[in-house]
Structure 1
Amino acid sequence: MAMKNAVEVVVDGRVYKISGYESQEYMHQIAVYINEKMTQCHNTENYRKQSSDQRQLMLSMNLADDYFKAKNQAERLTAELEKKERELYSVRHDLIEAQLEIENLKKEKKAGSGQNNRRNEQHEGKQNNAVNAANNGNQKNGNNTQR
């Protein structure tokens, strides 16, 4: 288990010794934030006219307001991030499909060109056979005429 850290902070002009599992720097940041909120409240005329309990309630309400605004923003950003991740997933999926299609087309083209080469070879073979047959026929005719 983590050890507690103890630190002295000044809040509203008073020194408090507090402890917690967070770092001392973090606890100082919290104290600074509270002091800033208290200063904002003290600078409003109505706040100064209120009783101590009312001022404490107003400060608490302001802190809660900041918390809920930050929480709502975090939720909105999380929802936006999830939407972007879904869009990115869809784009990646489309990209993979396109890559597979390209690979299939390359294979088909390669297979097709192999068939074309075989067809060309067969065609050339038939032409060569025809030429050879014609030459053989000419040679036979030529040989017959020489006799």
Structure 2
Amino acid sequence: MNKYHDIEVIINNKRYTLSGYESEEYLQKIASYINNKHAEFRNKDAYKFLDSELKNILMQINIADDYFKTTNKLKEIETESDAKSKEIFDLKHELISARTKLEAAEREVDELKSELHEAQKNIVRLETELGDNDK
């Protein structure tokens, strides 16, 4: 089990203590993400004139939007991954089938070569017999 961590972070110029079983680096990363969101909003003129409750609601909506967009993107990637896995499976199956057909064709070629060789020997034997009979 992971160790429980308490870490002090600064979010929007205020000191907070974050606690959890996640690593300190992860908790710091969360604080950094939220700070970046605050900085993103501070750069917008209209945001400066809103009351703190509306600022917080907009921040929550923006974070929820990021979450749902990321979740949807993950689902798209999983769907693409599943499709590519199926395509790879189908290609492997096709490859195995082609190899099996190739091996069967190679065996048939070997058999036909053997038959040809036997037929050529038989022709030579018959020609020799025919030549002996003509004499």
TM-score grouping bracket, smaller chain normalisation: 0.7 to 0.9
CA deviations on 1:69-95 (whole Å, 9 max, x unpaired) are 111111112212222222222222222
The question of whether the paired residues in 1 share the 8 Å contact of 2:2 and 2:22 is answered with no
Runs of 4+ aligned residues of structure 1 deviating over 6 Å after TM superposition are none
Counterpart of 1:37? 37
Counterpart of 2:109? 109
Matches of 1:132 and 1:17 in 2, distance apart?
110
Instruction: For structure 1, list consecutive stretches of 5 or more residues without a partner in the other structure.
Output: 136-147
Partner amino acid for 1:101? K
Counterpart of 1:49? 49
SS in 2 for 1:41: helix
Q: What displacement does 1:35 show?
A: 0.5
Q: What displacement does 1:24 show?
A: 1.0
Counterpart of 1:25? 25
SS in 1 for 2:115: helix
Aligned length: 135
Counterpart of 1:77? 77
Q: Single out whichever of 8-17 and 85-94 deviates more from structure 2.
A: 85-94
Cα RMSD (Å) of the superposition?
A: 1.7
SS in 2 for 1:53: helix
TM-score, length of structure 2 as denominator length: 0.88
Matches of 1:134 and 1:128 in 2, distance apart?
10
TM-score, length of structure 1 as denominator length: 0.81
Matches of 1:103 and 1:43 in 2, distance apart?
69
Q: What displacement does 1:40 show?
A: 1.5
Partner amino acid for 1:116? L
Q: What displacement does 1:103 show?
A: 1.2
